[in-house]
Amino acid sequence: MKIVDLKTGKTVESLPGKCVLALGNFDGVHVGHAKLIKLAADAAKEKGLTPAVWTFDPDSLSRFGSGSAGRLLNRSDKEYVFASCGADHAVYEDFTRVRDMSPDEFVRDVLVGSLGCALAVCGFNFTFGRGGAGGPELLKKLMEGYGGGAVIVPPVKRNGEVVSSSSARSLIEEGRVDEARVLLGRPYSVTLPVKEGKKLGRTLGLPTVNQTFDGLYVRPGNGIYATSVCFDGKEYRGVTNVGSRPTVNPDPSDVNCETHIIGYDGWLYGNDVRISFFKKLRDEKKFADLDELKEAIELDEKKALAFFESESEKEKTKE
């Protein structure tokens, strides 16, 4: 079990005093998860306790196939969202350590005994203990039996449907990243190292950065997207192609993430760059030649800038 101070990013020995724990896997930290963590943080502040998140170490989950669906967030980005929701610490549990515990053992030895949990906050579908034997009501009963308490958070809905990580994942895989953004409360993002490509974009006067999905992230459906690009603390607008680039590449299985950063002409090889997907502009297409491809990219750039201008106007009307 590892405890991370979200302010410093460093591992610490234990939580400082009694705590309120938000419990869950929190894959993607969608709007339902965010509501749960914020509720826990508010309760901790009211009681003068430490607000923390208890979740699984993703590597321990992946050893048992639970992480095979594709992550919606890497660990550092997840910790950023935890902190933005008001949590001070993240407790990373090894699945193998608790998977065979009874519900009573889990509450007595882990939550209350090891972590000093005074109040546990969980979702309506939270399960714990061997074989998922425990549910929210049992958690509440056991916590009260050990002098604490529990709060059960009801489902959060968007467009009449219960928000879930699986729904967000499916939308992203279908290219419907704008709809996924509603469920996540932010655009879907990936942070990946820039790899050296064929430099074809540079010869067209439209330099690009090339990244390869590492097999852990959910991959957006093939197509052209309006994106934001973040590195070195700066943010740019971009046009991102997810796919095999059929105009210049005959292998449909050779899929990457290639982004033209609007207004940037530097070198980023080896750097980690975050790409945030806002809207799909069109499907991927094979063009007759490079001139036609260049015209299409320039049109995509105009569409992307128009989209972000529209988004900016919407934000102004909300103020």
Both tokens of 151, joined, read 């709060």
CA distance 5 to 8: 6
On the question of a common fold for 2-156 and 188-318, the answer reads no
Stretch among 96-100, 137-141, 204-208 having the lowest mean pLDDT: 204-208
Degrees, nearest 5: CA angle 203-205-211:
75
188-318: CATH topology? Elongation Factor Tu (Ef-tu); domain 3 (2.40.30)
What is the distance of C-alpha 42 from the center of its chain? 22
pLDDT above 90: residue 103: yes
pLDDT in tens, 27-51: 899 999 999 999 999 999 999 999 9
pLDDT above 60: residue 67: no
CA distance 121 to 72: 22
Of the options 3.40.50.620, 3.40.47.10, 3.40.50.2300, 3.40.190.290, the CATH number for the domain spanning 2-156: 3.40.50.620
Of the candidates 257, 179, 172, the residue with the CA atom closest to the CA atom of residue 221: 172
pLDDT above 90: residue 185: yes
String of DSSP letters for 45-114: HHHT-EEEEEEE-HHHHHTTTTTTT-BSS-HHHHHHHHHHTT-SEEEEE-HHHHTT--HHHIIIIIIIII
Q: Where are the domains of the chain?
A: 2-156, 188-318
Q: Please give the model's pTM, rounded to 2 decimal places.
A: 0.89
CA distance 153 to 162: 13
